[in-house]
Amino acid sequence: MGCVFCDRLAAGDLEAENELAAAFPDAFPLTRGHTLVVPRRHEADYFALTAAEQTAMWRLVNAVRARLERELHPDGYNLGVNVSQAAGQTVDHVHIHLIPRYAGDADDPAAGSAGSFPRRRGIGSRAPRAATEGLDLRPEVSDPREPRLDRSGTRAPLARTPPNPAPRSARAQRDAPHDGRS
């Protein structure tokens, strides 16, 4: 069985290219301008690419982004690389998704490309969603003054807890001004 991306490379319908990589429109775009950047060599695992192949791919991401800026004027971008079927990779040829985003193109843009578009939301996600239902998987924030996002993607209220006072020595406690309450 052939590789659809190798076939696209052979057909030559490319938006951008260099010696080691090429870019072409996604066959099932999530938004206007959704582009895939692939290595010319067939390889399923991003981490098995040479450093030169990875660099060539990211250079094309920047070149395609510059073209998208000039032509489509998106409001933002999602970049995505899925490595293995367990991570949602559906074509066994490395590819970087460059997805232009436009204000109002999704109900929940904070979810990124995987959770923003209903058509793609279910791909490979049933078991992980069920396994993590109800869990707060956000990373811990060490500084309570840093903003956090709630489940809807909006900023959660900042923690307003006072800092813990440093323990005071017996002498500091004795010499501290007394407010008369104790």
Which pLDDT band holds residue 8 (cuts at 50, 70, 90)? Answer: very high
Overall pTM surpassing 0.75 (yes/no): no
* Identified catalytic residue from 34, 93, 95, 97: 95
- For residue 141, is it within any domain? no
Quote helix, strand, coil % in the chain, to nearest 5.
Answer: 35, 15, 50
- For residue 50, is it within any domain? yes
- For residue 169, is it within any domain? no
Active site annotation includes 95: yes
- CA distance from start to end of the chain: 83
- For residue 150, is it within any domain? no
**pLDDT at 155 (0 to 100):** 43
Residue 168 has pLDDT above 60, yes or no: no
- For residue 101, is it within any domain? yes
Domain total of the chain:
1
pLDDT in tens, 106-164: 877 776 665 555 554 444 333 333 333 444 434 444 444 444 444 444 444 433 334 44
Which pLDDT band holds residue 179 (cuts at 50, 70, 90)? Answer: low
What is the three-class DSSP state of 126?
helix
Output the domain CATH number for residue 112: 3.30.428.10
- For residue 180, is it within any domain? no
What share of the chain in percent tops pLDDT 90? 55
pLDDT in tens, 79-111: 999 999 999 999 999 999 999 999 988 877 776
- For residue 175, is it within any domain? no
Q: Which of 23-37, 39-53, 109-123 has the lowest mean pLDDT?
A: 109-123
Q: What domain range includes position 98? A: 1-123
- For residue 161, is it within any domain? no
Closest CA to 94 of 143, 157, 36: 36
